[in-house]
Structure 1
Amino acid sequence: MQPAESGSVKSAMRVLDLLEYLRRWNAAQTHTQIAAQLAIPKSSLTQLLKTLVSRGYLDYDPASKGYFLGPAIAALGQRSAETRDLASVAETVLAETARATSETCALNVLKGDVSEVMATASGTHRLHYLMRVGDTAPLYATSGGKALLAHLPAEMRQDYLSRIRLEAITPRTIGSVAALEAEIAEIQRSGIAFVVEEFTPGIAGMARPILNRSGFPLAAVNIALPIARYDEALKQRCLKALDAAVAMIRERIGIA
């Protein structure tokens, strides 16, 4: 016997069915047509359509009283394509950044409530930090994660902050939402995120975001290094290299 679908699962299935249905049509579809084709109760469909229009996933044509896919759908597809392009472009840029700084660097993207490494280049020192493609980390604990978090749309960021539990990964991991919000404000002002031993003991990091034309953080480039080498001269060299890396990636994917 199959378990009954929960209300939230049923609603999600209706959203997907609706989007897939509209994708198959060149012409706008009316409330009546959609209800008949998808067997959704009209009262439920009314609220669903209203929500999707308000979020930009659907548009409404008053002349035909029909609905069609909205700009938010195209934006999702664009972000997916941009992320794939980023990973391939970033590999050569990160290699140049690692040579310029002799330190490990990586490209990080948002994946739910964590950041994920999409590309990386290792430092040339015998003692260097190791980051691997596929590694994930909480947004609040790494420089790349904080750079992404600080530049998310306000609604997405507040949703994250309202439900996240700040785990003390190290003794220096940020411990309160208020402190995290203050740091986010500083990152938004400066464009740079720093951590010192917040995720890995003995390791410092810094990161800058790569923003698309609408200001959404496609990714963040970070540099991670042992605190034994972390002095002001190296910090400035790494910041200069981060600036160059972000500018180069943006130019190569056509959003400079």
Structure 2
Amino acid sequence: MASVPDANVKSATRVLELLEFFAEHRRPMSTADVVNELGYPQSSSTVLLQTLMRLRYLDYDRKSRKYFPTVRVALLGSWITENLYSERSLSKIVNDLHARTSATVILGLQNDIYVQYINVCQTPQRRSQLKWYLKPGSLRPLARSSVGKAVLSSKPDAELIYLLRRINASETRPENRVSEADLLEEMDRIRETGYSLTTGTVNPQAGVVACLIPSHPQQPVMALGIGAENAELLRNKDRYLHLLREALEPFC
């Protein structure tokens, strides 16, 4: 039997081999593809793929039953080649927006019935001052957070209702449940105006203004947001919104 350190090394090696496998072939892969090409046991391949999916390093298409790396994989090492950034680099956009606003800048995507913040840029000095200091990987309610609503605005109404029913079924606090009519009405407004705005919804101290990012068909839908204390956000909303739209122009 392999020792714990040996097992950990094997797991780490398989993660890297899997990512290199995707990089080489540049297409979605099924569990069978991984088993056949990399020679991993079926059970180990399933656990590895599902774990990376839960962490949002892989996306899963239920129809084709195939996995594909998300943008979170690309962001892991993007800081290393900062001098090679293009104007379409999401990491560069996040950092530039933070430099221009001193506000919290958030890149998020859907993770089941939540939105996950896969990249967050926030002034470190504010960590001790703010109870709502965010960490990359944080989960927020998909139907109540600004970034989550921006992501939802890309979906057809039938899918929205299906997701909302799952969200409401999992919500233990009745006051946090969202009605179908209210959600559909807000989605129409977001689609018309091109942005989502929340203040004090998830955290009573803070709010976020967010815009949907036009994305590649094989990547999950993402949204970019700027967050601040409620008063600061409302005071600077128009400026923040202008900066978001300007930053996302290369994607349009």
TM-score by length of 2: 0.60
Alignment partner, residue 101 of structure 2? 101
Q: CA RMSD in A?
A: 3.6
Q: Which amino acid aligns with 1:152?
A: K
Which of 171, 179, 183 in structure 2 is aligned with 1:176? 179
Q: CA deviation at 1:183?
A: 0.8
Gaps of 5+ in 1: 1-17, 25-54, 58-71, 251-255
Q: 1:192 aligns with which of 195, 207, 223?
A: 195
Confirm or deny: 8 A CA contact 1:91 1:121 kept in the other structure. no
| Residue identity matched to 1:20 | A
Whose Rg is larger?
Answer: 1
Q: 1:20 aligns with which of 32, 35, 47?
A: 32
In the TM superposition, what is the alpha-carbon distance from 1:217 to its structure 2 partner?
Answer: 5.5
Q: CA deviation at 1:175?
A: 4.1
Aligned-residue offset at 1:192: 0.5
Q: Retained in 2: the 8 A contact 1:210–1:246?
A: yes
Aligned to 1:84: 73
Q: In 2, Cα distance between the equivalents of 1:104 and 1:195?
A: 14
- Tell me: CA distance 1:211–1:83, structure 2 relative to 1, closer, same or farther (3 Å): farther
Residues 91 and 119 in structure 2, CA contact (< 8 A), matched pair in contact too = yes
Q: 1:241 to 1:164 in 2, by over 3 A?
A: same
Q: How many residues align?
A: 185
Q: Which residue of 2 aligns with 1:240?
A: 242
Contact 1:144 1:207 in 2 (8 A): yes
Task: Name the CA shift for 1:148/1:231 in 2 (closer, same or farther; >3 Å).
Answer: closer
Inter-CA distance 118–19: structure 2 relative to 1 (3 Å threshold): closer
* Number of the residue aligned with 1:139: 142
Percent identity of paired positions between Structure 1 and Structure 2: 21
8 Å CA contact 1:151–1:216 kept in 2: the answer is no
Report the Cα distance in structure 1 between the residues aligned to 2:122 and 2:99, rounded to whole angstroms.
Answer: 9
The answer on whether the counterparts of 1:202 and 1:226 sit within 8 Å (CA) in structure 2 is: yes
Q: 1:224, CA displacement in angstroms?
A: 1.1
Residues 215 and 222 in structure 2, CA contact (< 8 A), matched pair in contact too? no
Q: Which SS does the other structure have where 1:200 is aligned?
A: coil
| Deviation string, structure 1 residues 76-107 (Cα, Å, up to 9, x no partner) | 63xx3545336644332211101111100111
User: 3-state SS of the aligned residue for 2:221?
Assistant: strand
The Cα of 1:196 is off from its aligned counterpart by 1.1
Classify the secondary structure of the residue corresponding to 2:168: coil
Which residue does 2:112 correspond to in 1? 112
Q: Cα gap change, 1:203/1:156 in structure 2, threshold over 3 Å: closer, same or farther?
A: same
Structure 1 residues 86 and 147, CA, compared in 2 at 3 Å: closer, same or farther? farther
Counterpart Cα distance in 2 of 1:241 and 1:169: 36
2 CA distance for matches of 1:176 and 1:97? 34
**TM superposition shift of 1:143:** 0.5
Amino acid at match of 1:207: A
Asked whether the equivalents of residues 168 and 175 of structure 1 are also in contact (C-alpha less than 8 Å), the reply is no
Q: Which consecutive residues of structure 2, in runs of 5 or more, have no partner in the other structure?
A: 1-29, 37-60, 79-88
Distance 1:110 1:197 in 2: 21
Whole-angstrom CA distance in 1 between matches of 2:113 and 2:65: 21
Residue type of the alignment partner of 1:158: I
What TM-score comes out, normalization by structure 1 length? 0.59
Instruction: Judge conservation of contact 2:207–2:230 (CA < 8 Å) in 1.
Output: yes
Sort the Cα spacing of 1:85 and 1:207 in 2 relative to 1 into closer, same or farther, 3 A. same
3-state SS of paired residue (2:225): strand
